[in-house]
Amino acid sequence: MESRKSLQFLVLSICVTLVLVVTWVHLPSSPNKVFLDCTLSSAWCSSKNRIQSSTKPNNLIKKPQQSSSTTQHQQHDSDVPHHPLDPLTVQEFNKIHAILAAHPFFESVSKYTLNTVSLEEPDKELVIKWKRGDPLPARKASVTAMVKGKSHFLTVDLNTDEVSIDEKSSVVSGYPTMAMEEMVGVLDVPLKSIEFNRTISQRGVNMGDLACLPISSGWYDLPVEENRRLIKVQCYSKKDTVNFYMKPIEGLTVLVDMDKKEVVSISDNGRDIPIANGINTDYRYSVQKLNGDFRLFNPISLEQPKGPSFTVEDGHLVKWANWEFHLKADARAGIIISQVKVRDPETSELRSVMYKGFTSELFVPYMDPTDAWYFKTYMDAGEYGFGLQAMPLDPLNDCPRNAYYMDGVFAAADGTPYLQPNMICVFESYAGDIAWRHSECPITDLQVTEVRPKVNLVVRMAAAVANYDYIIDWEFQTDGLIRAKVGLSGILMVKGTTYDHMNQVPSQEYLYGTLLSENIIGVIHDHFITYYLDLDVDGSDNSFMKVNIKKQETLPGESPRKSYLKAVKNVAKTEKDAQIKLKLYDPSEFHMINPSKKTRVGNPVGYKVVPSGTAASLLDPEDPPQKRAAFTNNQIWVTPYNKSEQWAGGLFVYQSEGDDTLQVWSNRDRPIENKDIVLWYTLGFHHIPCQEDYPIMPTVSSSFDLKPVNFFERNPVLKLPPNFKDDLPVCKAHDSS
């Protein structure tokens, strides 16, 4: 028996070794050098597009279809900053890399990770004062780094080479955004485990078909979470489909120590659950069997034969119609829009609307409390990097013809810069909509029909945080309205089940979602996207005014009417006055006004935030995920401007304990009247999956608006011309040309 056991062990060991060797080749490599080099590993590794100062960027991505007049996609290695808010350049990244590598703090350690390296923006007053032609304020970088399992926050002065270390981690919980190399680097850790290999084999999955995901494990105040950075790895089979998400190896969760790269524990509860067959889940065009029944369209295209009407100066300053703003890519936020100004048609003056706007954090809790699912409560910006996950846009499909594409330049985990090509696009959109119109009718006996077409400018990125795709749009309209829109597409996170028909499910059993296909449940979840909106309406000092719409009963004899609605205005004094939950039956408008600036007839100038369809978080406020994502406790918040309060879930969101959130800041209840204040808006979605979401989801969108309210003296697009036939292009089909 003894020898038999030994033999079994030997065979098993050989198998495991073999598997490990094979996997080593097939999975992304696990770099263990100080400076990562993944040129030999993943084709997608961020180092692939690493920029060497002596060589051209290794950018294999096809170039967008451009009108020949648009010059872009310059070589980024010679970029220089032109504006105080311009992102760090290749040369600056290289300099930071050199400064840090030589710094005693890093010199003394054998291994560290630079999790984020980004511009430390100059003080707001400096930026506002700065004019083109002025020298730039001192260039600085903010760096978050993991050294010996601890979070660090550093500032590097690029002029003086000085490094200052701010030990925020002694004050707040959590870890920095994962570097892409860290996410990839944990995926082969489970393979070190015999138990893991055995169960994979027992479930009939070939190691070559294994696809695993690094799933942020949240924080649940458990002993295992203390003093270590954890991640959970769950795996799928990619046999016969590129859409491995539809073939989960259900119930198998490997808890990994992210820094030590070792397995902490394995939970394996789904051995009786078959892996779904994945038939017809591959969504790629190349594998579709097209039949004649699906009618295709004649080509339809947004055409601008004279080219687009916007310009991008110095790589970042977008000018279009009556708008001007600074646009850049950011590894954590994705898109950052700054110094948004709109031209007043009465005075021709450019007037400030918003100093800075971006998606500050996301919260995506899944609604299944069982072992393999309860922890799925993603905070995609702070944990994964919303910009890091924004893959190159597909020209003609992600954005129409004549789009302008902007690259991201980020730092790899070792600090060397790399290129995220075509990460953001900018384009003009015309959907056939109407900016304003009026016809006179027979009643008035006037023959008037005046209609103006509506053309917008869209700034877009698409972040694919593993399975889900978030399409983030900032839409600028000529009437002064800014629409922030989120589209959800991509692939559901699904759960394996033994059921292949609803009639097998006992009536008392709750599935936590919808049976989408045989052995596949789409688990219910929410999405919340919290926007940081530093509105500066005609200057920094603003007030937040709630215009409450209230039923007013008339007095007896006052009117044949019993009631009417009255607008009751209340200016918020402190932060708690501005913690707002939206109510259909107690409605309000939410104005950001400048109390010192009035229109000709005496209304304070303002912008209002206009919610549209949305969802609120209904989790228990004391539930650990909700505590960490307490920024979703209200739809609207207003805080005094504070340079350090930009990330709604805190600076270090990974495994954070909820001690550094917007809720914590706002509860200080600081004065916010006639001050430099920031408005936060959370857009939400409840998602009960349905079969139409399988195997890939049609886009679902929602949005909110920032809209001028007594900001202009009158309709700012009164002078917009209509379309005349001779304005429009002459087109012919490509195959007839």
What is the rounded distance in angstroms from the CA atom of residue 354 to the CA atom of residue 217? 35
Tell me which residues in 146-205 interact with a second copy (CB under 8 A): 180, 183-184, 187
Round to whole Å and give the CA distance between 166 and 704: 36
Minimum Å distance from CB 320 to a second copy?
Answer: 8
Which amino acid makes up residue 515? L
Q: Give the range of 105-113, 162-170, 252-260, 484-492 binding a second copy by CB under 8 A.
A: 484-492
Laid out side by side, the sheet with 163-166 consists of: 112-120, 140-147, 150-157, 163-166
Contact 48, 90 (CB under 8 A): no
- Which amino acid belongs to residue 94? N
Interface with a second copy in residues 204-233 (CB under 8 A)? 211, 213-214, 220, 222
Q: Considering the complex, state which of residue 103 and residue 686 has its C-beta at the smaller distance from a second copy.
A: 686
Rounded Cα gap, residues 216 and 363, in angstroms: 12
Closest by alpha carbon to 646, among 680, 683, 673, 670? 680
Q: What is the dihedral of CA 267, 271, 272, 274, to 10 degrees?
A: 110
Interface pick for a second copy out of 37, 166, 240, 500 (rule CB under 8 A): 500
- Of the candidates 264, 466, 571, 664, which one interacts with a second copy according to CB under 8 A? 466
Which of 31, 490, 640, 649 touches a second copy by CB under 8 A?
A: 490
* Residue 31 touching a second copy (CB under 8 A): no
Query: Which CB sits closer to a second copy, 76 or 452?
Result: 452
Candidates 135, 442, 556, 557: give the one binding a second copy (CB under 8 A): 442
Rounded least distance, CB 152 to a second copy, Å? 24
375 belongs to the binding site for a second copy (CB under 8 A): yes
Pick one of 104, 133, 223, 698: the residue that binds a second copy (CB under 8 A): 698
Q: Which helix (H) or strand (E) holds 252?
A: strand 252-257
Candidates 121-129, 144-152, 537-545, 610-618; binding stretch for a second copy (CB under 8 A): 610-618
Mark whether 623 is an active-site residue: no
Among 598, 644, 668, 671, binds a second copy (CB under 8 A): 598
Minimal distance in Å, beta carbon 624 to a second copy?
Answer: 7
Strands 112-120 and 604-611: unpaired
Query: How many other CB atoms sit within 10 Å of the CB of residue 32?
Result: 10
**Torsion 202-207-208-211 (CA) sign:** positive
Going by the DSSP 8-state scheme, the letter that residue 671 receives in this structure is: B
| Cβ neighbours of residue 97 closer than 8 Å, sequence gap 6 or more | 411, 414, 415, 416
Site pattern 267..306 for a second copy (x: CB under 8 A): -------------x--xxx--x-x--xxxxxxxxxxxxxx
**Is residue 737 within the footprint of a second copy (CB under 8 A)?**
yes
| 3 scored as a contact of a second copy (CB under 8 A) | no
Member of 612, 642, 644, 667 binding a second copy (CB under 8 A): 612
CA–CA separation, 561 and 152 (whole Å) = 65
Query: Nearer to a second copy by C-beta: 93 or 704?
Result: 704
Of 105-113, 168-176, 197-205, 704-712, which part binds a second copy (CB under 8 A)? 704-712
Query: Nearest Cα to 520, choosing from 155, 299, 201, 241?
Result: 241
Question: Is the separation of the CB atoms in 513 and 524 below 8 Å?
Answer: yes
What is the residue type of 441? C
Interaction of residue 5 with a second copy, rule CB under 8 A: no
Enumerate residues 657-686 that contact a second copy by CB under 8 A. Answer: 686
Catalytic residue chosen out of the listed positions 259, 330, 380, 479: 380
Contact track, a second copy, 559-578, x by CB under 8 A:
xxxxxxxxx-----------
- Select from 518, 516, 520 the least CA-distant residue to 694: 516
Least Å from the CB of residue 233 to a second copy:
11
Q: Is 86 in the site for a second copy (CB under 8 A)?
A: no
Q: Which is nearer to a second copy, 154 or 423 (CB)?
A: 423
Tell whether residue 235 is a contact of a second copy (CB under 8 A): no
391 binds a second copy (CB under 8 A): yes
Residues 6 or more apart whose Cβ sits within 8 Å of residue 560: none
SS3 503: helix
User: Which positions from 91 through 150 interact with a second copy, judged by CB under 8 A?
Assistant: none
Is 329 one of the binding residues for a second copy (CB under 8 A)?
no
616-655: which residues touch a second copy (CB under 8 A)? 616, 618-620, 622-626
**574: nearest Cα among 491, 673, 488:** 673
User: Distance between CA 611 and CA 706 in Å, rounded?
Assistant: 9
**Cα-only R_g, the chain:** 28
468, 532, 607, 641: which one is catalytic?
468
Q: Which of 68, 443, 506, 557 binds a second copy (CB under 8 A)?
A: 443
Angle, alpha carbons 638-639-641 (nearest 5°): 130
Please report whether residue 396 would count as binding a second copy according to CB under 8 A: yes
Catalytic, 479? Answer no
Do the strands 140-147 and 112-120 form a parallel or antiparallel pair, or are they unpaired? antiparallel
Distance separating alpha carbons of residues 205 and 234, to the nearest angstrom: 14
Choices 128-136, 254-262, 639-647, 725-733 (CB under 8 A): range interacting with a second copy? 725-733
Catalytic residue annotation:
380, 468
